[in-house]
Homo-oligomer: A and B are copies of this chain.
Amino acid sequence: MKKIVIKFGGTSVGSIEKIKKVADIIKKRFDEGNQIIVVVSAMSGVTNELKEKSNLISKNFDNKELDVLLSSGEQVSSSLLAGAIIDLGLNARSWLGWQIPIITNDNHTSSQILKIKTEEILNFISNGAIAVISGFQGITFGNRITTLGRGGSDLSAVAIAKYFQADTCEIYTDVDGVLTTDPFINKKAKKIDKISYEEMLEMASLGAKVMQPSAVQAAMIDDILIHVRSAFSEKTGTKVISESDINYKKAVTGIAYSKNNAKVSLVGVVDKPGVAADVFEPIGKNNINVDMVIQNTSLDGKTANITFTIKQEDLKKTLSILEKNKEKINYKKIIHDGKLAKVSIVGAGMITSPGVTHTMFRSLANEKINILAISTSEIKISVLIEEDLTQRAVKVLHEAFELN
């Protein structure tokens, strides 16, 4: 008998009809002889609606009360789902974060799980009953409700799989699994059968959207087997496993992209220790996320150019911060570009495949796509290009790396 954690996201429980379908899936998995712990998100849209209500009360709505408010979303979905399972003649009940309890720190609205008590639920499921746990929420040692931040239900599922020593953690979503690229911009996108945690992390951060990056990271650390699959089909999805368990036949596993990037270049920065800190400290303090950072080698030994990318919406604020700190940073001028995309090839196999970089750049060149910046990691190469060219770039790379 296997013990499995199965998690359903907001779209999978987005309506009463869908909740009933999810109950059917759970019954099927139960009838197959599994011990089942379900983790459920709020019905799609609900968390945003609640957030909007708090915003109408105050732009600085109290964090602790926000957690009480937002956690009600999963309270609704988990009780409805438990009720739907009971209606199918099975024994089930819902558990809210505080009832288990799932203990977190008191970092309200983005808390970390510290501990999960398992005895009561283990006892419950070993008697042939189904536990339905509200994702996204926990409780502090001081008895206050907390939430884990956006997409926190994935984190809940992984942590629950860990503490309950589940055989596998299945993430049910509205797509068939992790795809080689976004099917909306390339119809030839194909489902990936197996992907490593590291690749998944790169894919998730870059917009594959099926699973929260921090949850993938947590699964990687504790070696939790993840299976991303569709709530609306019976197909096998994507298994997220250790790199060592994958036999890489292809150098590249998938093509990811993100739009709405802006590039800022500081030209003629005096090349001395601490200059990068001077640039990025005021930006970070203003809660602006910097993505790629490229510093060219100083040619004259005195000045360098620093280029970095941020979200388009942060461009104006970033420029004004840099203007204010012009004297301290000591640069000659700023060049910026506001409509860029980042396209990345991701694949653990590329480590052992020479020529990947070459193939990527040549393919883009053949399409007359100009590369504005490059950054690389062990399993990823990202290039910055004009946003309008995103679709063409993804298509040509998808073909070049034999993902079609």
Contacts and interface: CB of A to CB of B under 8 A. Distances in A.
A68 B75 contact: yes
Chain A residues touching B, majority SS: helix
Contacts of A230: none
Contacts of A69: 75-76, 79-80, 83
Interface in A87-128: 87, 93-94, 96, 98-99
Contacts of A383: none
Interface string A44-73: 000000100110111011101110110110
Contacts of A86: 58, 62, 65
B83 A62 contact: yes
A16 B56 contact: yes
Given A57-B16, A75-B72, A99-B143, A64 B87 contact: no
Nearest to A19: B57
A366 B398 CA distance: 92
Nearest to A98: B98
A10 B266 CA distance: 57
Contacts of A98: 98
A61 B76 contact: no
A145 to B, nearest CB: 8
A82 interface: yes
Contact of A83 (B16, B61, B76, B93): B61
A84 interface: yes
A101 to B, nearest CB: 10
Contact of A87 (B57, B78, B96): B57
A65 B71 CA distance: 16
Interface in A1-42: 16, 19-20
B76 A94 contact: no
Contact of A79 (B65, B78, B82, B84): B65
A348 to B, nearest CB: 43
A87 B61 contact: yes
B75 A58 contact: no
Given A64-B93, A68-B79, A71-B75, 13 more contacts: A16-B53, A16-B56, A16-B57, A53-B76, A58-B87, A65-B79, A65-B82, A65-B83, A66-B79, A68-B96, A69-B83, A72-B72, A99-B143
Of all A-B residue pairs in the complex, the 7 with the closest CB atoms, nearest first, are A68-B79, A58-B87, A69-B79, A65-B83, A72-B72, A16-B56, A72-B75
12 contacts: A16-B53, A53-B80, A57-B83, A58-B87, A61-B83, A62-B86, A65-B83, A65-B93, A66-B83, A68-B78, A96-B145, A99-B143
